[in-house]
Amino acid sequence: MKTVSIIIPVYNAEAYIKHCFANICNQTYTHSAIECVFIDDGSKDHSVELIKKQISENESNISLRLISHKKNEGVSIARNTGINEAKNEYIFFLDADDTITPDCIQILMEATDIYPDANVISGNIITKKSGLYHHDATHAFTTEGRSQNLHDTLLFIYASYSCNKLIARDFILKHRLYFPVGIPYFEDLHWNIDLARHSHIMVYLPQITYIYEDVSTSAMNMSSKRTNIIARCYMSLIEKGYSLNEPDNWTETHLFIFFYIMKLLTMSHFGNINRHDIIKARRQLVGQSIKMRQPLLFLYDLQLYQPLRWLSAHKFFRNRSAKLRIWMCSKCK
């Protein structure tokens, strides 16, 4: 029987520990084929004590392990530790404050028999606070080719979570698909870009397997209070885009960079980012559209300059931004 390691980063998550254990122990997939690796990232509350208590009281056949960092090093390092410590064939990431359906692991693991060549198998997601997120299909479908998978990621066609994906551990290790260190937000997107670049077949299932809890204490909900850090993370995504050497996805990369330059330009302040670096990134982007002889992209890039920046904030364009990027990409290929 195929085995899976569920990796759960934990930082000050005492309010969710019992719920998290119930999530794991209620799985319908054969318990002896599941291991759960908790990575305590220097919690200052009672998370560790609660995890140890739950492990000692565990009556299932699931293998439960706790690995502790001496200090808080961030979710990326916690997940990377989990990757290195995992012992089973497949890896599945779960956040302690989220929920997986009882048949989550069974659905994903059974899909590996139906799609033996798939590099990534994803279930559907519900965002509890914001409503439903689902793929536009009532049946499973696949996307094939590295270029197509990178296209989907750079244009945000599918959710860029690291959770709710089943991936062979050997595949992760072969391509060194570790999470970027020192990036407190949007580390999932960095990782998903690298994942897409190496994935030839990605499978999306219609069944709901994961419930994302949009809680007010989460890192992303607190980000408005730390705009300087958010700005730095936006810049890291711009740098990520410029570092990609994927000629078949040049247009998507261009639109991806545009998206985050615009986010920076609409922020009230940039923290430690030098405004000159933003101006340089903007000029480089416009220079690309001219060099590649793409007048449509050049016109689109003009939104990066005043007085045309109001276009991006206009309700008509804002409500159609995703469709507009996909349309632009099809026209500029």
Cα of 6 vs its chain's centroid, Å:
16
DSSP secondary structure letters along 164-198: TEEEEHHHHHHTT-PPPTT--SSHHHHHHHHHHHH
Predicted local distance difference test score (pLDDT) of residue 137: 67
> What 8-state DSSP symbol labels residue 96?
T
Name the superfamily (CATH) of residues 4-212: Spore Coat Polysaccharide Biosynthesis Protein SpsA; Chain A (3.90.550.10)
Query: How many angstroms separate the CA atoms of 184 and 171, rounded?
Result: 25
Q: Pairing mode, if any, of strands 63-69 and 34-41?
A: parallel
Distance CA 309, CA 23 (A): 46
| H or E element in which residue 49 lies | helix 47-56
Q: Dihedrals φ, ψ of 204, to 5°? A: -120, 125
Here the tokens at position 305 are: 């300059």
Beta-bridge partners for 93: 7
Q: Encode the chain (333 residues) as per-residue pLDDT tens digits.
A: 999 999 999 999 999 999 999 999 999 999 999 999 999 999 999 999 999 999 999 889 999 999 999 999 999 999 999 999 999 999 999 999 999 999 999 999 999 999 999 999 999 998 876 666 677 667 788 999 999 999 999 999 888 889 999 999 999 999 999 999 999 899 999 999 999 999 999 999 999 999 987 755 454 454 455 788 888 999 999 999 999 989 999 999 999 999 999 999 888 676 677 888 999 999 999 999 999 999 999 999 999 998 877 777 677 677 778 888 888 898 887
Cis peptide, bond prior to residue 247, ω within 30 of zero:
no
Q: What DSSP state is assigned to residue 97?
A: T
As a whole number of angstroms, the distance between CA 163 and CA 186 comes to 13
User: What is the bridge-based pairing of β-strands 34-41 and 4-10?
Assistant: parallel
pTM: 0.91
CA neighbor of 298 nearest in space, from 249, 254, 333: 254
**Is 81 in contact with 69 (CB distance < 8 Å)?**
yes
Contact 34/3 with Cβ under 8 angstroms? yes
Q: Taking a C-beta distance cutoff of 8 angstroms, is the pair 178, 93 a contact? A: no
* Backbone torsions φ then ψ of 43, nearest 5 degrees: -60, 145
Domain boundaries, the chain: 4-212, 223-331
Measuring CA to CA, which residue among 17, 11, 14, 99 is closest to residue 57?
Answer: 17
